[in-house]
Structure formats: structure tokens, C-alpha cells
Structure 1
Amino acid sequence: MSTKEDTSLDHSSNGQSLVVHQAAPLGVKDVDWGTVPGYATGGGAAPTDPATYLHAIRRHWLLAIVLGVMLAGLATAATWVLIPKKYTATAIIEVARDKDVIVFAEKAYNTPQEYEVFQNTQLQYVTTPAVLTAALRDQEVNSLPIVQREKADQIKWLKDELSVSFPRGAQIMEVSLSDVDPEQVTKVVEAVVDAYMTEIVERDRRLNDQKLADLQRVLNSRDAEIRNQQRLYERRVEELGTADKDTLILQNNLRMQQLGMFRNQLTRVQFDLRQYRSEFKAAEAALNRLNESPAIAVELETMRQKDPMCRDLEKQIAQLQQMLASQGNMARAGAETTLGSQLNDQMAMLQNQYNAHLAGLQMLIVEGKRVTLQETMADRALLAELAAAEEKSLEEEIAKLQEEFQTIGRSTVELDMLQMTLDDLKAVRTTVANKHEALKVEMGSLPRIRRGPPVQEPKTANNTELKYALSILAGLVGLVLPGFIVVRWDVHKQRVNSSDDVAKKLGLPVIGSVPVIPARAIKRLNAPSKASHQWNVRLAESIDGIAAKLLRNAALAKDRVVLITSAVSGEGKTTLATQVAMSLARAGKSTVLVDFDLRRPAIDKAFQLPLHPGVSEALCGEADVKTLAQPTGLAKLEVITAGRCDRHVLQALANGGDKRLFDELREAYDFVIVDGSPILPVADSRYLSQHVDSVLLSVFRDYSRMPKVTAAREILEAFGVRDVEAVVTSASEGGYGVVDMVAQTPQASA
């Protein structure tokens, strides 16, 4: 049969072919696909049969390819244009594994683990806020557009964008930044490296300078002490008149030993005195912070768990809570009780008692700690007082011994002490001098962290391969996406793909199939050519098969009034009705074709007959239906056109006026073929279905939608129709042995 177009008819004078076309259908709500065999359960679910997707691809492969190629080109070009080129500037900083040692070898070499820790420390240093703030403090860097565009938090932006790493196995640290402007990223990287060298690396050197200056001050101080001690020694020797100490050794050995013992004892007592005073202050501070100590809460919890009274009160409270819960359930159940308020009072009393007991326990803990701390303070104060008295006594003893030495005069012991002090000062001075010289020499060695060559401005973008990859990916997505969308859209429409869909999935008996006649063949259907003849023969054979089934039904069940309709318009019902009527007439049966599509009549144009008077006038009682039949060019076939339809006609149809017409036509003709309106958009054919013998549903492959066909069948069954059969119009199904056909893609059906 023909493809979908506006109303267009081809009427053969010899009665061999008649093709009718109508407009597209109106919409209708889909049915529950859980009731359709072979489809997923659940309302509105899409088919799960893989063949459905193959049919969708067959219908729309050219559209999918065209759209895919267009979208792929646009996506590839857009991705390539929208992804900006990025340039990466990289600075190199040498980070030696070991220190450079010139003379003094301390701990100069690092294990791999120590060097890894050192590397991680430097990585963190580079991205610290202090370094990044110092880098952005430069006005030239801060005024760069890539910095100015980050108004909210420039430090966070720089930290996120900056890449700092150690290449595997190399003793260098790479600091890099990527952006669209190579000159700007170079300046930012230079500023970050400068800030790192200044704030971190040079800081260590400044600390060494400070340490060297401190050692020099200590050295100068020791030189001054040595000079003073040397002058004192020389003055004593001058007072004695001799440096020979042999004459005084025996007299002063005892006093020298006593003096040394007293000095040692004085040192110990002074140390103990400082310790006692420090412990006293610590206890005093702890006493002042006693109520804030977290240890109180810990001890209170421990004491609560061990205290029998607390456990007993907690147990009573838990029991009362259970009783209150039971009272609450009874109250909700409607039981009147006064025990609830008593339990609440008892609960409050126990809770207050529990809290008071806890407060008492806490007070005991606090008071116990306070007493302990006060005892500690008293003990340390007493010990400090005793130590101070002992210190004073020792100082007096030492003073007395010194006075005795002075009294004895120019004692050898004093000279020995002066000599020993002088030797100690010289030894300390030698140690400080060695450290000063070692640090001074080592500061002249190569630094462990050294800046590499200047940062070179990048000349080529570093994301070209990424742009290629993303552009290709976007092109592939663009190529596939339209096809996916089109196929999904088509599958969602749930169209009829074959006669098997109608028979097996929709459960409708299929009594025949009609070939789709291409539009170009329709225009030359009556031409004296072999191709036109083959189309005529193929169409006639398929229609004759359907007519044979109707003849069989008429012989068995007296089904002579047949309503031919469809779910929606555009599914070939009018063409099917005319062809079936013509086939029955050729079979020698007196047949009348009745145009009951009152809203969109087409039979009058097909046979070039006047539209009225017709069915509409018969329904209103303005004409006798038997007198309305008009002859056609084919023997045994007459046509009753639709007439002029108005609201009175539709009201008469709804009131059952068609039954009288069908009774009269059944007596006058062997077959009454009724071209009805679509089932779903309007109710006309629903009324007709109650007064006909059988109903044929015209289904158009690749156009008809299975939910709508199912809905039409259910409506007919609801109106009492039990004999509903289907005829499928399909390009892949047709005559046997007539002509080798290549399937044409249908455009629509009438």
C-alpha cells in the first residue's frame, strides 16, 4: 500500500487498484507494556527485544549518520577551539643529598630515608603561605592578568596550580606552573623561586651568620675574662714576692680541700633550692587551676563507676524510666492512671539526689587534690627555707675560709685556684674558637640547596596531545550520540516492526498482509508497463487473500458486515477498505462500500463521486439508505459516500442510528464494507463496532505504535466486539512468486 501523504487517490477505471492517503494521526496515551508479551514489565517501559533496536536502526540509519557526522564535526571543532593552549614554565633547584664538607666532617651524609624526609620538607616549604605571599608581594607579579583574575584567594589559587616535584632518582626539585600566557607563567615561577630562596634557603644562611656572631661575642667575652684572671694572678704573685708555693702547701692543703668541699656542697644546695622553689610554683599553679583540670572529670567518672551509692541510684533511675515508659504506653492506650505523676516526682527526687551525690564526690576529689597540693607547697616551702639557711651557712663558711686564706696571706692555694680558673677559661676559649673557625670555614662551602639555570619562557604548548585526544573523543561522542538518541526515541515510540509483533506481542490474529506501494509506483500504477502490472498483481493477490478469509467467515459465521478501521489515522484503513470491497466484487459478491469516516471522508474522492447525499443524510432520516448507493466502474460494487456531517449526524450516530442502516444494507447486499474513523481520536467507530459482524484493524509497519493498537483493541473489546482481526501493511511481506522486490522505506500510510 502507499506511503503517508495528504489525501491523494488513484482510481483505476478497470477496478484493479485504488490507493487512498490521509493525514497523520492524533496522539494518544500509551498503555501498560507490562501486559504485552515479550516486553519489559512496568508501565511505559521500553521494549527489551534486541530486534527492536535493529528495526529502529533500519528506519533511521541515514538520519543518524547525517546528524552524527554533522555533530561530530561541530563537537571536534568546538572542543579544539574551546580548550585553550597551556604553556608550562619550569624552574630547577638543585637539592644535594649530602652536605658539602671542606674540613670539619660532622654528620654530613644522609641515608635514603633521611634524604626523602628532607625532600618532602622542601616540597612543603615551596607552597607555604609565607613563600607564596612573598612571591605575590612583587608588584609586577601581582599585577599580571593571570593573578588579577583570581580576586577571591590568590594564595589558594597559586598553591593549587603550582606543581612541585622531585623527578625520580634526580637531586633536583622542579617548580612549574601552567597557563595560557607563557610570559606570565615564567614571571610567576621566577617570583616563587626567588621567594623560596629568600624566605627558606637564605634564612638558614642568616641563622648561620647569627650563630657565627654569637660565637664571636662568646669568644670576646672569654678573652676579657682570661685577661682579668691573668692580671689577678700576676698581682697575687707580686704581693707574695715569689711564685714558689712549696712553703705554703702543707699549711693550706687542708683548707683547700675544705673549700672545695664547701663549694661543691654550696652548688648542690643551690640546685636543690631552685628545684624546691620551682616545685612550689608548679604546685601553686596547679592549685589555681584545680577546678579547670580535666583530670577531675576522669577521676569523677572512675569514682562514679566504683561508688555503690551511684550504682544503686542509677539502677533505681533506670527502673523508674522503664515504669514511666510503661505508664506512657498505658496513657496512649486510653487507660486512666495517677501513678505517672508520682513516678515523675520520684524520678526528679532521685535525679536530684544523684546529681547532689555526684557533686559531693567531685567536691571530695577537688578537696583531696587541694589538700595534697597544699601539703606539697608547705613541704617545698619548708625544704626551700632549710636549703636557703644551709646556703647561707655554706656561704659564711666559704667566706670564712677565704678570709683565713687572706689572713694567712698570699696563699699558694689561692694561686693554684687562680691558675686552675685561668686554665679552665683558656680551655673554654679554645673550644669556642674551634667552633667559630669550623663554622666560618663551612659557611664558605657550596650550599646544599642551589638555584638552577634561569627559567626559560616556554615556546610550545604542553597540552596539544590532550587537545587532540579530547577533540577525537568529542567527535566520537558526537558521531554516536545522535544515533543513540534517534534509536532510543524510535524505540520509545514502540512501533510495529512486523506481522509477528501484531500476532505474538499484541495477540491480534493477522488475516493478511498488504505490500507497501512506493509513491512513484502509485503515480504509474495504471501505466501499461511490466512494473505497474506486477504491482497491480501483487496488490490484488494480497487483497484477494484477505477477501478469501472474509468469504470463509461469511460462510461459517454469517459475518457480512465488516468494519475496517485503525487505531489512529494514517494507517491505511481507507485504502484497505476500498481494495477489499473491490476484491469481493471481483469474486462475484454484491458489495457496498460505506464511508463512515464522517469527519474526514475520502471515498467520494477515490471514486470521483459527489459527497452528498450520503450516510449523514441517512442517519438524520433525510434519505433512504438504499437509494444512496452509487455505482462504480466495477460490477457488483456500489458506494455510499459520507455526506455532509454536522453535530446532529454525530448525535444520531451516538444514539444507534447506524443499526437501522446496517440492517437494511445486510438485506440488500452480500457484503457491507464499512470504512470507519480511527478508534482512538474519536468515538464514531466505537458506536459502529456494536452493530457490525467483525472488525478489521489496519496496522502499518514502521508507523503504527503497539500501545495504540493495543488500546484500540481494548476499546473495541470494551464495546462488546469479540472478533477483532488485523491486516498488516508491510514492505517486506507480500506476494509469492510475483516479482523480486527490494524493500522500500515507507513514508506514511493513509
Structure 2
Amino acid sequence: MELSTYLRILRRNWIMVVAFTLLGLVAATAYTLSIKPTYTAQTKLFLATQSSGSVGDLQQGNTFIQARVQSYVEAAMTPAVLEPAAESLGKPVDELVGKVTASAGPNTVIISIVATDSSAVQAAAIAQAVGESLIEVIDELEKPTNGTGSSPVRLSVVTPAAPPAEPSAPNNRLNIALGGAIGLALGTGLALLRNVLDTKVRGETDLQRVTDAPVLGGIAFDGDATKKPLLTQAPSQGTRAESFRQIRTNLQFAHVSHGSKAVLVTSSLPGEGKSTTAINLAIAVAQGGQSVALVDADLRRSRVGEYLGLEKNAGLTTALLGKADLSELLQHWGQDELYVLTAGQTPHNPSELLGTEAMKNLILRLEQDFDAVIIDAPPLLPVTDAAVLAQHVGGVVLMVGSSRVKLPDLEKSLNALDMVEADVLGVVLNFLPVKGPDAYAYSYYSYETDQPKAKKRNKKAADRKNSRPPALDSIEPSRDHAAR
């Protein structure tokens, strides 16, 4: 994955990452405060020879003490040294074990005695006592065996032990920083794991994992759309209206090479906004000056008539069964050249009815008399209606509800369309968040300069309207669009 992908994952899960980071900081702080502070004191001893002979003697003596220094370091931890030190401090020798360490660096004759204790004074006292005890023990051990003469080496205190001003442990800053780092790493790891396990489509990046179909546009989530779903109910210069204008424009470019004028709008599952998108897309195309036929082919759960407030008991099924002519069933809506064919009565065999030759001829007839035909079809996965209809139209627009459909379901839908050799014109993302990594935002210029032209066009279109819808055969596209 690219860096931008990781950043997007972190932005999606930033609350979890921050929560775990804070949890790590709090846990580290609590742990640090629960630890009793310990203090470290140190004394340093210098090892030298007693002789002061020639240069050769000094070099020989230096080699001797360097060979001995590691032995003295080990001797510092023996009972011979610790017992006298413990006795001088009035403590049991077991208490000193684990509190005292001795060390000497390479090529050095300085021995460091380090002691730790919960008391700064006691730590200094222990280090000093062990150092003095080591001096006495080494002096005794290095004396000649005959008991006469002095030790050839001499240990001297060069750095006396002093009570430390601050505790050596715990390291509050380090512990808290480690706690925050561990929390951050854990939160980031869980965010990445969640991204792997989460198969919901949330944005265009997720969409690209299963299809290379172009994205015709995105529709941001709008709480007012539930009460005011129609494009005519939204502000004309608002984001929602601009979204459908962009989809309309992109769809025209995607559909420019097709001989068929019919476009099918469907989705993978119910609730992804296909019906409202089909309606608003038809309205947007009609507002662009084209004559549009909107067909509600969702015979199982028709919604177009309900949204537009039209008669829905007589419509598509009525025409397919030959009970009425198509021209009698089309209902004009709005001020533009938009005509709606509602679903009609629910039949017992919707799939078979939509796959008949009558349905194919109905679409061809609409294409002859309208600039655009937009068909609202059922979802692809629950029923086969949309796949059947996809064979009669020039292209398919697939709605994808953000966070409402999973990648496997979307892949199944695309495979179903591929099996019937449907031409997927593109995908429209719906319910996109207004904030966050998958947010959908528009920046556009004001369209106030185009309003006089739009009003003039709408007035001409209104003058051509009659009080009732004209017969289908009498509907003709406007001259400028016919010229196109």
C-alpha cells in the first residue's frame, strides 16, 4: 500500500488511534506512580602498584594490575567483601545482595561500585561501605604469604559516594513516552487490521479494489434529503444540485458513443438510493433542455410515483400487458419536458414480464421520441430483474451506497452485469460523508450568469406544454437537441 493509503486508514480510525494512545499514556503514568523511587550512588576506586622502580618495573606493574582488575571486580561481590560491609551498616548481608554491582571498563584500572536503595543516604552508605571493605580485603589477599611486607597493589577511593539528588528510577518521562508509543502502535495496528477485515465500500479508493469503472460522481450525505428527496426541493446552487449536474454531464460523455438512449439505474442492495438518484438524474437532464422519459421498472417496490406524487396504479405493467397504450400512461411532471411512466400494478412474474419482447419494444419506442430514457430498476442481488433489463438498454449506472454495501456484494453485482454483457457506464457513490478521508466536496463558481438563459429556456418549454400529457407520437425533441 502507498503512504496515502495508510494516511487515509489512520484518518478513518483516528478516534481509535487517539484513544489507544491516551490509554497507553494513562497506563504508563499509573504504573510509574505506583513504583517506589530508587536512588543510585557510586564510588570509584583506583588500582595502582606500590613499587616505584624503573620504567620497566612500572610497565610490568601496570600489566599486572590490569590482569588483576577483573578479579577484584568479582571479589567485590563475594561474602568476604559484603559481610564486613553489611556488619558496618548494621544490615544483614542478604539485603546487600542485588543492591550492589561492581564493574571496570576495558583497559582501565578504575573499579566502580554502584549501590541502589529506596533511600538516597542509604545508597551512598552502601556503596561507600562496600568500597572500603573491598580495599581492606584486597590489601589482605595480596600480602606476601610469609606475612611480612606490604601488598604490591593499592586501592584508593578517587570518587567518594554521595547521596544522589534525584531518583534513578523510575524514569517518568521515558515510561510515559514508551506507554504512549505502545498505545499508538497498538491503535495503528488495530486500525490496519480493521481495514483488512472491513469490506464495506466507503469511498472511491475502496471501489477501485473491485472495478475500474469510472466514477460518474458522488452525492454527499444530506439529512434534509429524507424529507426533501427531490432535486427541485434543494437549493439550485447547493452541493446536492451541483452533484447531479456533474453526474448528468459525466453520463452524457460516457454515453455519447451509444446508439441507445436508454440508461438503467440500479444498485447491489436495497437502500442505496437508486430510485431517488434516477428521479433526480431525470430532473437534471430535463432541466438541461432535453426531453426525458423516466420509467419505474422496479415492479416489486416501486417508489417513483410515490416520490413524484403521480398515479401509480396504471403504468409499465399496464402497457406491457396491453391494457392501455403507452401514450395514455405517460404522466408529465414539472415545468420541463419530463414524462414519467410509473410501475403500475405489481405482477406475479416481474422478471418474466421485464424480459419480454414487449418490454424491449417499449424501450425502443421511448428512445424514438425522447432525448433520454432513464429506467429505475430493482437491486441486482435480491432479484434478477435488473440483469434482465440490462440487456435492453444502452448502458447501466450502478449506485453504490457508502458504508451500505460490502465489496463482495459489489463484486457479485458487477459479475452479474458482466454475465449478461451489460455496458456499465459508471458508478455513482451515494451517502458519502461530508467530513473525513472519504468526504465529498464541491468547489464551483456561481451560476447566476446562466439564470436568465435558464429562465428563458424554461419559459419556452412551458409554452409548449398542454394541460394534459400529449400523445407519445406527438412528442418531439427540441430543435437544438435534434440538431445535436
Q: TM-score range by the shorter chain?
A: 0.5 to 0.7
Question: What are the Cα deviations for residues 229-250 of structure 1, in whole angstroms up to 9, with x where unaligned?
Answer: xxxxxxxxxxxxxxxxxxxxxx
Aligned counterparts of 2:319 and 2:218: Cα–Cα separation in 1: 33
Aligned counterparts of 1:142 and 1:611: Cα–Cα separation in 2: 98
Q: Is the 8 A contact 2:43 2:128 kept in 1?
A: no
Q: Is the 8 A contact 1:100 1:108 kept in 2?
A: yes
Which residue pairs with 1:75 in the alignment?
24
- From the superposition, tell whether residues 717 and 196 of structure 1 become closer, same or farther in structure 2 (CA, over 3 Å): same
Q: Is the 8 A contact 2:69 2:109 kept in 1?
A: no
Q: Is the 8 A contact 1:71 1:479 kept in 2?
A: yes
Calculate the aligned-residue CA RMSD, in Å: 5.7
- Aligned-partner residue type, residue 462 of structure 1: S
- Deviation, structure 1 residue 461: 0.6
Alignment of 1:576 onto 2:242: no
Which residue pairs with 1:430 in the alignment?
none
Alignment of 1:113 onto 2:51: no
Q: Is the 8 A contact 2:70 2:104 kept in 1?
A: no
- From the superposition, tell whether residues 606 and 142 of structure 1 become closer, same or farther in structure 2 (CA, over 3 Å): farther
Q: From 162, 168, 185, give the equivalent of 1:462.
A: 168
Q: From 640, 646, 649, give the equivalent of 2:342.
A: 640
Aligned counterparts of 2:86 and 2:270: Cα–Cα separation in 1: 74
- Deviation, structure 1 residue 541: 3.5
- Deviation, structure 1 residue 120: 1.6
Question: What are the Cα deviations for residues 143-184 of structure 1, in whole angstroms up to 9, with x where unaligned?
Answer: 75xx8xxxxxxx7xx3xx743124799865322134656577
Aligned pairs for 1:312-331 (under 5 A) are none
Aligned pairs for 1:307-456 (under 5 A) are 439=148, 442-443=149-150, 448-449=154-155
Q: Is the 8 A contact 1:566 1:679 kept in 2?
A: yes
Q: From 557, 571, 593, give the equivalent of 2:295.
A: 593
- Deviation, structure 1 residue 643: 6.7
Matched position secondary structure for 2:447:
coil
- From the superposition, tell whether residues 73 and 55 of structure 1 become closer, same or farther in structure 2 (CA, over 3 Å): closer
- Deviation, structure 1 residue 122: 0.5
Aligned pairs for 1:105-504 (under 5 A) are 111-127=61-77, 140-141=91-92, 158=98, 162-166=100-104, 172-178=110-116, 202-204=140-142, 208=145, 211-212=146-147, 439=148, 442-443=149-150, 448-449=154-155, 458=164, 460-463=166-169, 466-472=171-177, 474-475=179-180, 478=183, 482=187, 486=191, 496-497=203-204
- Deviation, structure 1 residue 696: 1.7
- From the superposition, tell whether residues 734 and 667 of structure 1 become closer, same or farther in structure 2 (CA, over 3 Å): farther
- From the superposition, tell whether residues 98 and 714 of structure 1 become closer, same or farther in structure 2 (CA, over 3 Å): same
Aligned counterparts of 2:85 and 2:47: Cα–Cα separation in 1: 24
Aligned counterparts of 1:100 and 1:625: Cα–Cα separation in 2: 128
Q: Is the 8 A contact 2:142 2:153 kept in 1?
A: no
- Deviation, structure 1 residue 125: 2.0
Which residue pairs with 1:747 in the alignment?
none
Which residue pairs with 1:90 in the alignment?
41
Aligned counterparts of 1:680 and 1:125: Cα–Cα separation in 2: 82
Q: Is the 8 A contact 1:613 1:641 kept in 2?
A: yes
Matched position secondary structure for 2:49:
coil
- Deviation, structure 1 residue 123: 1.1
- From the superposition, tell whether residues 56 and 96 of structure 1 become closer, same or farther in structure 2 (CA, over 3 Å): closer
- Deviation, structure 1 residue 448: 2.5
Alignment of 1:557 onto 2:250: no
Aligned pairs for 1:614-629 (under 5 A) are none
Aligned counterparts of 2:405 and 2:107: Cα–Cα separation in 1: 71
Q: From 424, 427, 437, give the equivalent of 1:724.
A: 424
Q: From 345, 354, 363, give the equivalent of 1:666.
A: 363
Alignment of 1:538 onto 2:242: yes
- Aligned-partner residue type, residue 276 of structure 2: T
Aligned counterparts of 2:299 and 2:174: Cα–Cα separation in 1: 60
Matched position secondary structure for 2:168:
coil
Matched position secondary structure for 2:275:
helix
Matched position secondary structure for 1:176:
strand
Which ranges in structure 1 are unaligned for 5 or more consecutive residues?
1-46, 102-106, 148-154, 213-438, 741-750
Q: Is the 8 A contact 1:542 1:734 kept in 2?
A: no
Matched position secondary structure for 1:698:
strand
- Deviation, structure 1 residue 725: 0.9
Which residue pairs with 1:428 in the alignment?
none
- Deviation, structure 1 residue 532: 1.7
- From the superposition, tell whether residues 448 and 471 of structure 1 become closer, same or farther in structure 2 (CA, over 3 Å): same
Q: Is the 8 A contact 2:260 2:393 kept in 1?
A: no
Q: Is the 8 A contact 2:295 2:342 kept in 1?
A: yes
Higher strand proportion: 2
Aligned counterparts of 2:325 and 2:398: Cα–Cα separation in 1: 25
Q: From 672, 679, 701, give the equivalent of 2:380.
A: 679
- From the superposition, tell whether residues 186 and 540 of structure 1 become closer, same or farther in structure 2 (CA, over 3 Å): closer
- Aligned-partner residue type, residue 666 of structure 1: I
Q: Is the 8 A contact 1:86 1:178 kept in 2?
A: no
- Deviation, structure 1 residue 82: 2.2
Relative contact order: is structure 1 or structure 2 higher (C-alpha 8 Å, sep ≥ 6)?
1
- Aligned-partner residue type, residue 177 of structure 1: A
Aligned counterparts of 2:420 and 2:410: Cα–Cα separation in 1: 16
- Deviation, structure 1 residue 496: 4.6
Aligned counterparts of 1:143 and 1:128: Cα–Cα separation in 2: 12
- Aligned-partner residue type, residue 213 of structure 2: L
Aligned counterparts of 2:81 and 2:315: Cα–Cα separation in 1: 97
- Deviation, structure 1 residue 121: 1.6
Higher helix proportion: 1
Aligned counterparts of 1:545 and 1:735: Cα–Cα separation in 2: 14
- Aligned-partner residue type, residue 174 of structure 1: S
- From the superposition, tell whether residues 696 and 142 of structure 1 become closer, same or farther in structure 2 (CA, over 3 Å): same
Which residue pairs with 1:698 in the alignment?
399
Percent identity over paired residues: 19
Q: Is the 8 A contact 1:571 1:700 kept in 2?
A: yes
Which residue pairs with 1:714 in the alignment?
415
Aligned counterparts of 1:575 and 1:544: Cα–Cα separation in 2: 14
Question: What are the Cα deviations for residues 509-567 of structure 1, in whole angstroms up to 9, with x where unaligned?
Answer: 56x435547546887899999x92313763564354367569856xx63453x321234
- Aligned-partner residue type, residue 173 of structure 1: I
Aligned pairs for 1:503-514 (under 5 A) are 506-508=211-213, 512-513=216-217
Aligned counterparts of 2:379 and 2:413: Cα–Cα separation in 1: 9
- Count residues in correspondence: 421
- From the superposition, tell whether residues 594 and 524 of structure 1 become closer, same or farther in structure 2 (CA, over 3 Å): closer
Which ranges in structure 2 are unaligned for 5 or more consecutive residues?
433-439, 450-484
Question: What are the Cα deviations for residues 689-710 of structure 1, in whole angstroms up to 9, with x where unaligned?
Answer: 3454532223568988877655
Alignment of 1:689 onto 2:385: no
Greater Cα radius of gyration, structure 1 or 2:
1
Aligned counterparts of 1:584 and 1:75: Cα–Cα separation in 2: 55
Matched position secondary structure for 1:578:
helix
- Deviation, structure 1 residue 69: 5.2
What TM-score does the superposition give when structure 1 sets the normalisation length?
Answer: 0.43
